[in-house]
Amino acid sequence: MKYVGKPIQRIDAYEKVTGFAEYAGDLELPGMLYAKLLLSPYAHARIRSIDISNALKIQGVVTIATGEDFPFRVGLYVNDRYILARKKVRWIGEPVAAVVAEDLETAEEAVELIRVEYDPLPPVLDVRDALKHDAPLVHEELGEYAHSPAFNPIPGTNIANRFVVKKGNIEDGFRKSDVIVENEFFMPQVSHVPMEPHVCIGQYLKDGSIKLWTSAQSPFAIRYILGYSLGIPLHKISVYVPYVGGGFGGKAGINFEPLVALLSKKAGYRPVKLELTREEQFMTAPVRQGFYGKIKTGVTRDGRIMAKKIFYAFDAGAYADYGVNIGRAAGYSCTGPYYVPNLEGESLTVYTNHPWGTAFRGFGHFEFLWAIERQMEIVAAEIGMDPVEFRLKNALLPGLTTATGEKLREDAGRVDQCIRAVAEKIGWGTPPVKISSSKVRAKGIAALWKAPAMPPNAASAAIIKLNEDGTILLSVGVTEIGQGTVTALAQIVAEELSVPVEKIKVVPFRHTDLTPYSWQTVASRNLFMEGRAVIRAARDAKEQILDIASQVLRTPKDDLVIEDEKVYVKGRPEWSIYLKDLAAGYVYPDGNTIGGPIIGRGYYVGSRLTYLDPETGQGYPALKWTFGAQAVEIELDEETGEVKILKIVSAFDVGKAVNPLLVEGQIIGGGVQSLSLGMWEEYRYDENGKMLNPNLTDYKIARAGDIPEEYEIVVIENPQKDGPYGARGVAELAMLSVPPAVANAIFHATGININNLPLTFENIWRALNKGE
């Protein structure tokens, strides 16, 4: 192939690195006003009264809104979230009121003058406590909330969704087991830490229309939820998304867009801008959910997994509008990339009085793979088997069935090849090495898998326009949040239409009035789904080109070739016509014209996907599965607990690397992000639920010096027949299993198992010195 499979530089690089890229924060509209939020100081409390009188006296204040002004709930999967807190607050940082003023400084001054009286309620701050029968209810009205049919909230409890999966006979499986091992695992809430905080501008027009300019991953989801919640026809809602400075799931679904739209209406239909500070981003924007897991595994002495009983509880925080899908995704993928003949799994999404959780890159999988890959290591040690051999013996291979009863297709990819690849590259088999009295070097391995977590009807579309000079315009709904998908899609167009990539422009913004539909930019689905849509759009355009060219060249379409920006007769390249001469229809010398503008249209919807049985979890949720494995070599100081990551090896079965350079960048970036999440990142709260580290001084993330000096990548290509040129998604996979690999290396170095994240030096030191 000429373009697909080639390491082409990102087509959006120039605008971004030179600062010419336009972001939502750069936008200034005529007559624009500025909003500031008053945040709750309580994790759980009734709102007795709100006094805005003194704030309204400040010159320059246009209006102030409270929850009573907007009695609407929003939510992607569960319609549970008020636009501003109404009747009660559910976390420290929940917006209680919003000031709209002529400038930001005035809005900030006025916020300080709002007085709110609260009646504190007992908060629930641990997901396990939230499940107790006498736990305070975060949502007493849970039974009233509209929700997708894929989810199962339990009214009268804090369970926003319960997902159950059953396969085989678990009692029989445990009876046939020689060894049974049970462990618990924990992971805290964390921040997405995008470089660009949440920014949105809204304008409500007098004719009932709404215009939004926002830093968002999912413009069509915003439009749909806003229309559903406010009862507004979708053609009256326009959502514009320029470049987005990172999302990682935190800008999926719907966030502050309804607020700015309704504030605009209250402020006399002027546009209103809300831009979070970094501290507000930590306290009031959505976070990654916390996680608690408990796994019971039964195995034979020769290393065959016979049964697993799995329990996952996700800390959704105050609202679960998107978060219910996280527990569901973890539920149907709960075994990791291993064959388990007998299984009972329960995955709960649970309300607490923490900040509200949403999607985070690889949602649900990063969390449960921490538990699964630690458990695999512990079980292997218990039966005295090499952990690589143990993983390979139980690897989920084509022909075997997943937890939901899906028979893995022959072209699904090979986790065993990924495990063997990282084992070879890390030099597996050598014992830990003491390099000083306190320092030891050791290695660890972990495997992974993931499928896009999406409804069966999730769709993508693409439009291709041939310009009069032969260049091409591609419009797609996938939002470019840094992942590079648009470059890969341009390569697909180039391959299909034989036009150089540099002559293809992917429209850099998304506008729901102009852009073809795409469900959401999440779940590593976009190269696969948009890629299929783009291929169909290109072939639709190609048919139109050949229809006109066959008349001009007086040759059947079957005898024509499109290559090097022209159409010619097979074997007679001199009988040709340039694409540019067909773009708007072909014009004969006398002015007569045939054909018309070339506009290709394509779409893709996954076939034969289903909702899952509510009693057993059986069904077909997966468009595709991507497999991988990661290995690390560490240097551990046993006196201080300090760990240095010397090397990471990552292997992924990507099906086909449409752009190897992008794949490499995703794998390295994802690996470093995974390392950061596993070793430093966590929200810390006091006993009242107050966040103690809402800034980048106290909330630690990886820095340049933490990046391993050696990073080796293995790209395995077992093409999936229905993927675009055989490709599968890989972006999220790159950050799923570095933490368990590090913890497994610590175990091999010391014999100590650490099952709680993060693996901070202090936490490692405490584990090494427990009881002393």
Q: Annotated catalytic sites, by residue? A: 732
Q: Which amino acid is at 618?
A: Q
Counting DSSP H helices and E strands in the chain, the numbers are: 17, 34
Structure tokens at 720: 């999936």
The secondary structure of 647-688 as a DSSP string is EEEEEEE-SS-S-HHHHHHHHHHHHHHHHHHHHT----B-TT
Q: Look-up: residue for tokens 């909702």? A: 611
> CA 488 to CA 484: how far, in whole Å?
7
The alpha carbon of residue 676 and the mean position of all alpha carbons in its chain are separated, in whole angstroms, by 17
Q: Which amino acid is at 41?
A: P
Alpha helices in 285-347 (DSSP H): 324-332
Pick the closest to residue 450 from 527, 397, 391, 524 (CA basis): 524
The secondary structure of 443-464 as a DSSP string is EEEEEEEE-----TT-EEEEEE
- Cβ neighbors of 638 (< 8 A, separation 6 or more) are 438, 439, 440, 749, 750, 768
By the 8 A CB rule, do 248 and 676 touch?
no
| Strands (DSSP E) found in 254-404 | 272-275, 287-288, 290-299, 305-317, 343-351, 357-358
> CA 41 to CA 691: how far, in whole Å?
10
Pick the closest to residue 488 from 655, 252, 362, 241 (CA basis): 655
Pick the closest to residue 315 from 288, 284, 285, 294 (CA basis): 288
CA distances from 476 to 112, 445, 517, 518, 542 (A): 44, 38, 8, 7, 18
Whether the CA torsion 248, 253, 259, 261 is positive or negative: it is positive
> CA 344 to CA 291: how far, in whole Å?
19
The secondary structure of 36-89 as a DSSP string is EEEE-S-SSEEEEEEE-HHHHTSTTEEEEEEGGG---EE-SSB--EESS-BSEE
Q: Which residues pair with 433 in a beta bridge?
A: 441
CA distances from 126 to 291, 351, 725 (A): 10, 10, 46
> CA 157 to CA 138: how far, in whole Å?
9
Whether the CA torsion 512, 516, 522, 527 is positive or negative: it is negative
